[in-house]
Amino acid sequence: MLRGPMRRLTGCLRRESATLLEKQAIPSCLRVHSQMCGFIVSLMSRPGDASLERVGIEAGCGRMMPRGPDAQGIWQGKGVTVGHRRLAILDLDSRAAQPMHSTCGRYVIAYNGEIYNFRDLRTQREAAGDTFRTTSDTEVLLALFAAEGEAMLLKLRGMFAFVIWDQMAQRAFAARDPYGIKPLYYAYSGQGLLLGSQVKALLATGAVSREPDLQGQAGFWLLGSVPEPRTWYRDIRALPSGHCMWIEQGRITSSRQYWDIGDAWRMSDVSTPPDDGEVRDRVRDALRDSVAHHLVADVPVGVFLSGGIDSGALAGLMLDAGSRDLEGITIAYDEYLGSSQDESPVAARIAAFYGIRHHVRRVRREEFLADLPRIFNAMDQPSIDGINTWYASKAVAERGIKVVVSGVGGDELFQGYDSFRKLPQLVSRWRQGSRIPGVSATARVAFGLQARLSGKSRWRHAPDWASTLPGAWWLRRSLHGPEDLAALMGKEEAEFALIGFNADAWTRQMSGPLPIDARLALGQIESTTYLRNQLLRDGDWASMDHSVELRTPLVDARLLADVQALMPAFHHFPGKRLLAEAPLRPLPREVIEREKTGFGIPIGRWLAGRVGEAGATFDGRSWAREVVAAIDHGA
């Protein structure tokens, strides 16, 4: 009985000659077996009760049912249990199911994500003599790892988180994509290490403490999302984006950063960009390449269509790349009807301009209140955002669409926020003005008054924070001031969480060394904080709760690398014109020149009556308290 497995292991180790392998050509109509899902892995430090491990893994898998409603697989080996929930974008093929074993039998993988260049990588491996049993990117990952080990990471283009177990060496390798689009969490249990796609899945095993992480929770109260690598819970950590690690005997033995997206902004700081015409051409080519890669699918791919430049330009680029029967989905609210915040008329204009089908989904207060328990249940960690994406994903699922493209990341890459212009001006003016005798004292009085009148204590810190760009960014993004935390967390807890707190230092710690150029520095800060900790994380839980695969062509490490030398010239194209003019048919002028409104939701009007007296105000801070109350009560 051992001869078969041993022969497969030996074959993997010896890399048998290609002449002994039957080559399998990739059909021109190669079907894409998507692996959007959730997984949980237990790596034990010592032999234990396998049946108990299986019970915990099954509970964790059950918590991730929406991430993978089509199939569940559990595999157990010596000291390891792997659970997987699968969302079948195409017909469910049992050969592509997970956990998947390598052809040689040595490696076992649990994987969540999409490798957009897997066909090219498969061709390379076939040329080297590998054969494949399936058409899935999962098997390509296994073949690459067997041949190249962790060096393969630099070849991958996509969003991914995976764990590979080496049965011969009795160790595991885990990795996460450069931007951190797909989540990967880990926690030590009494028996070893647990890894999974959701915080709540790890908690569901019953092997992980629910003790709070005070600094993680402070980060939420201050900024509206929990900053990685911390989570809401003390014993659970996120594997940082662009990192990989090795695990042996239930312990992390090494961890390293294989890709730092911040390097793109740092390196661009010393770049001399070409003339504007070449910048425009090269950015257009890079965008078209990214969009084409993100359309790899055998099912229709929809697009979240707001009235903004990001989604509108992507719709045009998707058509340029060959999308057929494209449908745009727009969320609208009666409360915004007739106002600039109602994006449905502009979205309809974009849809008509490109000749695509358009569906407007209206969300009303009654529906939101009924959905609120499910939203809180889906929210893996507290966040003040994500509701719009949740409803857009709900609308997509209702339309029978399983894959959708989002314009998230456009503002960070193409300097779309007004802060790219205003914050450098604020810092410069404050530095100049503070040198004038009496200005600092007067400003402290004025900002103190503004803090009292607005109820936003962070304004008291403006004279200190506005002297540096990271501090000014904090002033713009922060939800609460440090002095608010005692009332929110408890006095002792807040004091512990804020030991040595400094807004400038905290921002630099999250983002790393910053470029000298203020616009580039802000692009890096936004991409490594707000985009990473809030927008991408919210996009994952909100879309996966409806079993929808969310793709982000503007959040792509290869795209970033392609344009990094051009970024110093991006401010020559205000209003994200580089993106707006990238399609063969550029967006209409009225869309390009329209004032930016953001992707809002009238949650304040819907819940105002729940915070006290009738007519009481409801803002982001009120919503943060609602979220935490629900999460802490086990939603």
For residue 450, pLDDT over 60 is answered with: yes
Q: pLDDT at position 31, please?
A: 47
CA–CA separation, 414 and 554 (whole Å)? 10
Claim to verify: residue 221 and residue 308 sit in the same structural domain: no
Claim to verify: residue 103 and residue 160 sit in the same structural domain: yes
Of all residues in the chain, the percent with pLDDT exceeding 90 is: 69
Please check whether residue 255 lies inside any domain of the structure: yes
Band of pLDDT at residue 436, cut at 50, 70 and 90: confident
Identify the domain containing residue 425 by its residue range: 419-525
Claim to verify: residue 251 and residue 292 sit in the same structural domain: no
The model's pLDDT over 541-568, given as tens digits with 9 standing for 90+, comes to 999 999 999 999 999 999 999 999 999 9
Query: What is the total count of domains within the chain?
Result: 4
Please check whether residue 517 lies inside any domain of the structure: yes
The model's pLDDT over 134-148, given as tens digits with 9 standing for 90+, comes to 888 999 999 999 999
For residue 613, pLDDT over 50 is answered with: no
Band of pLDDT at residue 446, cut at 50, 70 and 90: confident
Claim to verify: residue 214 and residue 123 sit in the same structural domain: yes
The model's pLDDT over 185-219, given as tens digits with 9 standing for 90+, comes to 999 988 899 999 999 999 999 999 999 999 999 99
For residue 166, pLDDT over 60 is answered with: yes
Q: φ, ψ for residue 71 (rounded to 5)?
A: -165, 155
Claim to verify: residue 200 and residue 317 sit in the same structural domain: no
The model's pLDDT over 32-84, given as tens digits with 9 standing for 90+, comes to 445 568 999 999 987 666 666 889 999 999 999 888 777 789 999 999 999 99
For residue 489, pLDDT over 50 is answered with: yes
Return the higher-pLDDT residue of 406 and 614.
Answer: 406
For residue 12, pLDDT over 50 is answered with: no
For residue 381, pLDDT over 90 is answered with: yes
For residue 178, pLDDT over 90 is answered with: yes
Question: Is-above-0.85 flag for pTM?
Answer: yes
For residue 612, pLDDT over 70 is answered with: no
Please check whether residue 24 lies inside any domain of the structure: no
CA–CA separation, 184 and 176 (whole Å)? 7
For residue 618, pLDDT over 60 is answered with: no
**What CATH code is carried by the domain that includes residue 547?**
3.40.50.620
Please check whether residue 401 lies inside any domain of the structure: yes
H/E stretch holding 274? none
**Residue 392 structure tokens:** 């857009």
Other beta carbons less than 10 A from residue 467's beta carbon: 15
Q: pLDDT at position 32, please?
A: 46
CA distances from 415 to 275, 445, 568 (A): 19, 33, 11
Claim to verify: residue 271 and residue 221 sit in the same structural domain: no
Q: pLDDT at position 17, please?
A: 29
Please check whether residue 562 lies inside any domain of the structure: yes
Domain boundary among 237, 259, 281: 259
Domain boundary among 479, 495, 525: 525
- Tell me how far apart the terminal alpha carbons of the chain are, to the nearest angstrom: 48
The model's pLDDT over 212-263, given as tens digits with 9 standing for 90+, comes to 999 999 999 999 999 999 999 999 999 999 999 999 999 999 999 999 999 9
Lowest mean pLDDT among 86-95, 129-138, 501-510: 86-95
Band of pLDDT at residue 30, cut at 50, 70 and 90: very low
Claim to verify: residue 369 and residue 336 sit in the same structural domain: yes
Closest CA to 380 of 547, 216, 183, 207: 183
Inter-residue contact 565 to 268 (CB < 8 Å) = yes
**What CATH code is carried by the domain that includes residue 97?**
3.60.20.10
Beta strand pairing call for 327-333 and 301-304: parallel
Band of pLDDT at residue 87, cut at 50, 70 and 90: confident
Give me the residues paired with residue 201 across strands: none
Domain boundary among 199, 232, 259: 259
pLDDT averaged over every residue in the chain:
88
For residue 43, give every residue at least 6 positions away whose Cβ sits within 8 Å of its Cβ, in sequence order, or none.
Answer: 79, 80, 165, 172, 192, 193, 194, 195, 247, 250
Claim to verify: residue 8 and residue 148 sit in the same structural domain: yes
Claim to verify: residue 52 and residue 106 sit in the same structural domain: yes
Claim to verify: residue 226 and residue 129 sit in the same structural domain: yes
CA–CA separation, 208 and 187 (whole Å)? 7
Please check whether residue 26 lies inside any domain of the structure: no
Return the higher-pLDDT residue of 47 and 168.
Answer: 168
Cis upstream peptide for 229 (omega within 30°): yes
For residue 10, pLDDT over 50 is answered with: no
Of all residues in the chain, the percent with pLDDT exceeding 70 is: 89
Please check whether residue 583 lies inside any domain of the structure: yes
DSSP state of 305: -
Claim to verify: residue 594 and residue 550 sit in the same structural domain: yes
Claim to verify: residue 378 and residue 448 sit in the same structural domain: no
Please check whether residue 20 lies inside any domain of the structure: no
Lowest mean pLDDT among 197-201, 461-465, 498-502: 461-465
